[in-house]
Chain A
Amino acid sequence: MREEILRVIEKNSRIETKELAVRLGLTEAEVVEEMQAMENEGIICGYHTMINWENTTDEKVTALIEVKVTPQRGEGFDHMAERIYNYPEVQSVYLISGGFDILITIEGKTLREVSQFVSDKLSTFESIVSTATHFILKKYKDHGTIMTKKHEDERQIITP
Chain B
Amino acid sequence: MKKAIITVVGKDTVGIIARVCMYLAENKVNILDISQTIVQDYFNMMMIVDMSNMTGQYGDMVNELENLGQEIGVSVKCQKEEIFDQMHRI
Q: Do A and B bind each other?
A: no
